[in-house]
Amino acid sequence: MDLFRYLNSVAILQTLSLLQQGISAPVFQNLVENNLRHSEFEFCSAIIKTPDTFSSPIDFSIGAISYSYPPYKDTDISLFGTEPENFTTISDVQSSLDENPTITYGNIEQEIESIPVEEPTLISNIGINADQSLVTQPIAFETQRAPYFDTCSLEKSWGLSFDDGPFRWSHKVLDTLEEAGVKATFFINGNNWNCIYNYASVLIRAYKSGHQIALHSWSHPDMRQITAAEIKYQVLYLEDALRKILRVVPRYFRLPYGRGSQSDLVLKTLGQIGYTVIGWDVDSGDANGFSNQKQKDVFRTAVLKGKPYISLRHDVKRTTSEIVVPYAVNLIKEAGYKIMLIAACLGDNDPSNWYKEVGEPQKRDDSWRCGVNDVHLFYGGFKCREIQF
């Protein structure tokens, strides 16, 4: 369930039982709309107050009832709201209720069915205004899909990669890699676990040490759930940050959650702006809460097969950085693998091919900052409004 529909559901669930109490339509309309604004406010407030928890469920309360997004698996919410531009009056809600009385929520036999979303048109000549809006021109959907690879091609090669950083534990990973004399590929977010500018030193160190820097989107949305324009925002806004910090623009990209590798829209949009998309075929499971021992078992099982690999781990995880990475690097080397940059393990040994732009980094200024508004695509299309505390 995307965030728009979830918050609409929360707002409606807060007031839906009042339909059985003879409340008038105008009063019900005001209550729903007020609760919708309240749910948006509380969600955005939770983001602002706990910026380090962006990749975890966000907990917020409406009155005495607590909610989380993404909802936990046992959350008893099955009611879908309409898209926000269609959710304007109580008549929209009541029409959907009248047409779709099929799903139970508690004792209420009601459903609001989701509105079909049309396939968006690809855009070109895209730019980002000062207010972070996009300048676009529609074009035909003709672009070739971005190349996609989920394993290395060279015999006995291992593409070591890390997602979601930079973060506080990234320096420990770099220490381990330096001690082992190996290089890795870092797929970077802009404003996910933390603001990229707060950890600029990590990026500078990694890049100067010869590690490959690649993109992983600005705020880690599911690319399948956003438009071509939003996909480009996620890429171009992060490109701009890397220009400032490193003065490089990578050619390699990893899809958030690994989702979208079968989507024409996603791969053609990324192909249009010159990216190669990288997946993986060994996942340590650190993002899913695997224990240290279980993560080690994943790598032990993999090396026994002897095939080339691209592995996924997250340098935002402390135990990954301090315990599992040193173990895995030694294990992979002892098994006779050559740990390589992902570009190199795919046969591309020319560093000039790894980046679309290379130049001199910029000096830090007031633009080196992140905020709630720049993650306006956070969780599939939701944009937090300016919030005053």
Query: Where do the H-state alpha helices sit in the chain?
Result: 3-15, 25-49, 90-99, 170-180, 200-208, 228-245, 264-272, 292-305, 318-319, 325-334, 342-345, 378-381
Q: Which residues contact 376 (CB under 8 A, 6 or more apart)?
A: 132, 382, 383, 384
The count of C-alpha atoms lying within 13 angstroms of the C-alpha of 9, restricted to the half-sphere facing its C-beta, is 23
Element counts in the chain: helices (H) and strands (E): 12, 17
Catalytic residue (one of 286, 314, 315, 376): 314
What's at 235, amino acid-wise?
A: V
Catalytic residue (one of 163, 164, 286, 374): 163
Torsion angle defined by CA atoms of residues 345, 348, 351 and 352, in that order, rounded to the nearest 10 degrees: -160
Phi and psi, residue 262, nearest 5°: -105, 5
Q: Which two tokens stand for residue 239?
A: 């490109």
Spatial distance between the Cα atoms of 283 and 197, rounded to a whole number of angstroms? 28
Q: Which two tokens stand for residue 318?
A: 């402390």
Residue with tokens 């702006």: 273
Spatial distance between the Cα atoms of 313 and 158, rounded to a whole number of angstroms? 13
Spatial distance between the Cα atoms of 5 and 313, rounded to a whole number of angstroms? 31
* 74 catalytically annotated: no
Spatial distance between the Cα atoms of 378 and 71, rounded to a whole number of angstroms? 15
Phi and psi, residue 250, nearest 5°: -70, 165
Spatial distance between the Cα atoms of 43 and 52, rounded to a whole number of angstroms? 15
* 314 catalytically annotated: yes
Contact indicator for 219, 189 with CB cutoff of 8 Å: yes
HEC assignment per residue over 235-278: HHHHHHHHHHHCCEEECEECCHHHCCCCCHHHHHHHHHCCCEEE
Spatial distance between the Cα atoms of 367 and 350, rounded to a whole number of angstroms? 32
Q: Which residues are catalytic?
A: 163, 314
